[in-house]
Amino acid sequence: MKKILALLVIAPMLISCSGSKKDSFNEAYVKDTNGFDILMGQFAHNIENIWGMNEVLIAGPKDYVKYSDQYYTRSHINFDAGTITLETISGTDPAASLRKAIISTLLVGDDPGNVDLYSDANDIQISREPMLYGQVLDNTGQPIRWEGRAASFADYLIQNKLMRRQSGLHVIYSVTIQMVPNHLNQRAHKYLPMIREASAKYGVDQSLILAIMQTESAFNPYAVSNADALGLMQVVQHTAGVDVFKSEGKWGKPSRSYLFDPQNNINTGTAYLAMLQNVYLGNISNPTSRRYAVITAYNGGAGSVLRVFSSNKTQAFNIINNMSPGDVYTTLTTKHPSGESRRYLYKVNNTQRSYRRVD
């Protein structure tokens, strides 16, 4: 979720730093990103006009936010915290609005191509394989697959868990659902076959792919950042996407729909990790030091990693190769100019340890 001001920030997600990026790609990236910012600004303005400035919520990497009912009702899945919050400011029949939102959210599929998160369109199609199946249990302890069970659970929530709060001139009615404790692992397990395939194809550890996915999106297939990084591994079309397509002999950039497909997204993100590992940072001899550099570069670019050590690329490689892996890690987590990249290495490295067992 993002406040309005955050929508105006262009985050440096997955910027490829090969040093040979053509101006046309940079111009296209700026044009596309500016267009996305305009779209987000208009969308946020619609929400602010109805909900008020302090109640603006927008979908993010780890947050599914869907508006309906002419923007008066919304569903918010926090994939990181494992909570689902349904809210409405409808003044006519808030219980009915909430009931409809609960049912559609519990039964929504995991195909982002079927849902427009940037409008109030009632375009959610009930799926035979709900995205949240098994990650939410109803009041009787059962998973929810069909509309009848979802409706019964919605009635229970409204009767027993309905909350009310005041925000400005609005009364906001809401219910909150807690996901099961292992919801993160359940989502990760869903993508393991794709991860194993990409790992074998590109020679990237499964544990690293999983750690990147958890850190980037918490395995949210609808993930999108304010910089328009897309999907499970938060790939940007004009940077990592262009690099990967070029390396595979493809022209142009991957489309949004292409990157929202989980298999395509995992394939593209893993291919980019392989490029960082084998090409941009391949001259780092120690595999542990190279892994630290690759993780940091996935967030802020290979060029920014090397410049931490020297403005001369050859000299940077020499310095890194004469350092212990521990010193490389300390340098990148304390001296990288981007605080986000410093924290990113710390988070991904710690998360990767918990996934070692899947390799």
Residues labelled as active-site residues: 216
User: Distance between CA atoms of 96 and 202, rounded to whole angstroms?
Assistant: 50
Q: With contact defined as beta carbons under 8 Å apart, do 95 and 138 qualify?
A: no
Please give the full DSSP string across 179-248, using - where no structure is assigned.
PPTTHHHHHHHHTHHHHHHHHHHHT--HHHHHHHHHHHHTT-TT-B-TT--BTTTTB-IIIIIHHHHHHT
CB atoms within 10 A of CB 13: 23
Q: Report how far residue 188's alpha carbon sits from residue 186's, in angstroms, rounded to the nearest whole number.
A: 5
**Angle, CA of 293, 297 and 303, to the nearest 5°:** 95
When computed from its CA atoms, the radius of gyration of the chain, rounded to whole angstroms, is 22
Query: Nearest-CA neighbor of 267 among 355, 344, 193, 217?
Result: 193
Of residues 39, 1, 4, the one with CA closest to residue 256? 39
Contact partners, residue 189, CB within 8 Å, separation at least 6: none
Report how far Cα 91 is from the mean position of its chain's Cα atoms. 33
Nearest to 186 by CA among 111, 261, 130, 102: 130
Q: CA-CA distance, 65 to 59, in Å (whole number)?
A: 5
Ordered strands of the 163-167 beta sheet: 63-68, 73-78, 83-88, 170-178, 163-167
Residue 155: C-alpha distances to residues 64, 68, 99, 173, 190 (Å): 23, 19, 7, 14, 30
| DSSP state letter for 315 | H
